[in-house]
């Protein structure tokens, strides 16, 4: 278990850290442990939350199996055993989801800012953004917000110095070397280059978020007319 560290999150959660970099190999280990815990939960486990390079495991201290160990020590022991077993987990093929996006104009107010920052045309920015496939590394910030890895570094752009108080639902933004999609209206400081008409998060659904960690996202450009006439019934193209 070289390179793997553990640390508590209060008295009801433990985080397992696999490293500090954002890369496919580390995230594969994250997802293997996540999937194993979901398939074979231990007594008292409540939730498992994957991120770029960590897995946080939430538990109820009074519902753990009775042992002489302190709850934290017991959880660490359980997780170490799970880590020994996790390499046997075979990850399912990632689900590929196409997200329609209308770039620029009223839907992408920061597209020109990003283009000027890199001394490129807006068409170049759109092309670089479209020509990548993106992996969903984690869901966070607000419910259903996907952090997407794999963006072309040629369009990496710092966040806004002053965040907006309200970013519209569906806005697609760039924050540093990442791109992401705002699933609900919320404050935010990412550079907004476009918007999708899809509703990525619906709290009343059995599965509220369309996207999950491990999914693959592809963007497909649509016009303003196509955006405005989107029927809202589809989840992807």
pLDDT means over runs of 10, the chain (237 residues): 88 94 90 93 94 94 84 93 88 88 97 98 98 93 92 96 96 96 96 96 89 94 95 52
Burial class of residue 168 in the structure, from the number of CB atoms within 10 Å of its CB (0-12 exposed, 13-18 middle, 19+ buried): middle
Does the domain at 96-228 match CATH 2.40.100.10? Answer given as yes
* DSSP strand pairing (178-181 vs 146-149): antiparallel
Check if the beta carbon of residue 198 is closer than 8 Å to that of residue 168.
Answer: no
- Where are the domain boundaries for CATH 2.40.100.10 in the chain? 96-228
pTM: 0.84
**In 3D, which of 61, 55, 57 has the Cα closest to residue 47?**
57
Architecture of domain 5-88: 2-Layer Sandwich (3.30)
pLDDT at 233: 45
Distance of alpha carbon 26 from alpha carbon 20, whole angstroms: 9
- Where are the domain boundaries for CATH 3.30.1360.40 in the chain? 5-88
pLDDT at 232: 60
pLDDT at 21: 85
Distance of alpha carbon 16 from alpha carbon 8, whole angstroms: 9
């Amino acid at each position: 278990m070289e390179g793997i560290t553990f640390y508590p999150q209060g008295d009801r959660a433990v985080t397992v850290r696999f490293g500090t970099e954002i890369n496919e190999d580390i995230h594969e280990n994250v997802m293997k442990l996540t999937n194993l815990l979901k398939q074979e939960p231990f007594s008292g486990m409540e939730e498992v939350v994957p991120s770029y390079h960590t897995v946080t495991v939430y538990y109820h201290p009074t519902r753990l199996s009775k042992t002489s160990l302190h709850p934290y020590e017991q959880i660490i022991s359980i997780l170490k055993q799970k880590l020994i077993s996790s390499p046997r987990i075979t990850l399912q093929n990632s689900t590929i989801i196409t997200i329609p996006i209308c770039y620029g104009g009223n839907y992408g107010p920061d597209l020109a800012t990003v283009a000027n920052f890199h001394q490129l045309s807006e068409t170049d920015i759109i092309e670089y953004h479209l020509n990548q496939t993106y992996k969903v590394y984690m869901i966070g910030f607000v419910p259903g917000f996907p952090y997407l890895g794999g963006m072309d570094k040629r369009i990496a752009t710092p966040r806004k110095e002053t965040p907006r108080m309200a970013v519209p639902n569906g806005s697609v933004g760039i924050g540093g070397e990442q791109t992401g999609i705002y699933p609900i209206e919320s404050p935010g400081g990412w550079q907004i280059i476009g918007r999708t008409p899809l509703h990525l998060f619906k709290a009343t659904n059995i599965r509220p978020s369309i996207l999950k960690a491990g999914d693959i996202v592809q963007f497909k450009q649509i016009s303003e007319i196509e955006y405005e006439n989107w029927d809202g019934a589809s989840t992807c193209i």
